[in-house]
Structure 1
Amino acid sequence: MRTVEVLLDEAADLAVRAAWRRLADAGLPSQARHRSPTNSPHLTLASCPELTTPIRWALGEAAATLPLPVRISGVVRYERPTSVLAWALELDSALADLHGQVWDAVASDSPSETLNPLHDPRRWSPHITLGRTRRAGAFADRRVPELLLAPPLSVQLVTLRSYDTETGALEMLEPRF
């Protein structure tokens, strides 16, 4: 499977990594525990089985819309199928347009049953993951709000990339102007 993700500007990246460290230091699930060199703060836009030529072409157009400013709207928790703690992003029209471009690209040349329904624009909830675990209720800990410093109000989405979940390979998706 290939994910399509967008990376954050340097200041936002550092803020997310600081939140990861604070959670890990408190013994809570944290993305800081993922030691892979591919582990970077990011926003996942979609996933598909492969990046075909038509998908790559369309993703190049989406990459050309970056950088894109977005606002963090607060902390969010998800339960099922895993427990996730994240910073939620405000879904304004520019972010919705970027996501729509990426979704249309992957949906245009992928069998529908291979697409993650949580990435469908009608269900997508943009967020930057801080911690994840299979343990239900892991982020119900009362310390969580005090552990997380206030997130930056605004961040820049700067680089489109793809991650191959089978090989672990990263690919930066270049803009097409």
Structure 2
Amino acid sequence: MSDIVSLELVLDDESDAAMREEWDALAAADLPSQARHTGESNRPHITLLVRPSLPDLDAAPLADALPLGMTLGAPVLFGAGRTRVIARSVVPSAALVDLHARVHDLAGAGDDADHTRPGAWTPHVTLARRVALDRVGDALRVLSEHAPLERSVRAVGIRRWETATKTVSEVVGRGTLEGC
């Protein structure tokens, strides 16, 4: 998928700041980190849906699911080859799995990225991309020294990210895009 549209859960200010502290700890240790991605759209989030195109949605029916408290768990690794993505796992509560299914029902059938399809989705918050295999241990050590193994966070909105136009728009929530 070259041009994509994604729907992403965004966090409240306190949760966002906590995740940025983890990004900053990795960057301070001279490791890859999302803190190095300085684009306006970069913020901690949990991707719900990714596909090549998506019509505008009336997402009002999703508003009742927010805010949504969640628990972040231990770091997880994604990828193959010489590098990995390091992310914080999200414990998949019944409420989170239900919201994910509702998002996909609302969006209708589409060419979803495999990792966001219901039944195959691994909810997570990305901390670093392209971490060389020989630095994964260093990154995990930094995270264990600077972050609790579990962390409570709260999602307060859903945003839409379109790579073709590099635009972010709020789908559900009030003022959740500040500081995107």
How would you bin the TM-score normalised by the shorter chain? 0.7 to 0.9
Q: Answer whether contact 1:15 1:152 (CA < 8 A) is retained.
A: no
* Cα distance in 2 for residues equivalent to 1:12 and 1:151: 15
Q: Any unmatched runs of 5+ in structure 2?
A: 174-180
Q: In the alignment, which residue of structure 1 is the partner of 2:51?
A: 48
Distance across 2 between alignment mates of 1:38 and 1:162: 10
Cα distance in 2 for residues equivalent to 1:62 and 1:43: 16
2:127 equivalent to 1:130? yes
* Contact 1:19/1:149 (<8 A) preserved: yes
Structure 1 residue 48: deviation in Å?
2.3
Report the AA paired with residue 97 of structure 2.
A
Q: 1:154 to 1:143 in 2, by over 3 A?
A: closer
Q: Distance in 2 between matches of 1:27 and 1:134?
A: 11
Q: Select the residue among 30, 34, 54 that pairs with 1:31.
A: 34
TM-score with structure 2 setting the length: 0.83
Aligned partners of 2:76 and 2:131: how far apart in 1? 17
Residue in 1 that maps onto 2:178: none
Paired letter, 1:148: H
CA contact (8 A) 2:32 2:131 kept: no
Q: For 1:138 and 1:79, how far apart are their aligned partners in 2?
A: 14
Alignment of 1:11 with 2:14, yes or no, is yes
Report what 2:73 is aligned to.
73
Measured at CA, do residues 151 and 14 of structure 1 come closer, stay the same or move farther in structure 2, by a change above 3 Å?
A: farther
Mapped pair 1:98 → 2:119? no
Alignment partner of 1:7: what SS?
A: strand
Length-normalised TM-score, structure 1:
0.85
2 CA distance for matches of 1:4 and 1:164? Answer: 9
**Alignment partner of 1:121 out of 110, 118, 122:** 118
Structure 1: gaps of 5 or more residues: none
Shift of 1:135: 3.7
Letter in structure 1 aligned against 2:124: H
Instruction: Return the alpha-carbon distance in structure 2 between the equivalents of residues 51 and 63 of structure 1.
Output: 19
CA deviations 1:57-99 (Å, max 9, x no partner) are 2x33223311111111222222337611111111010000011
CA contact (8 A) 1:88 1:128 kept: yes
RMSD value, Cα: 2.1
| 1:12 counterpart letter in structure 2 | S
- 1:143 matched to 2:146? The reply is no
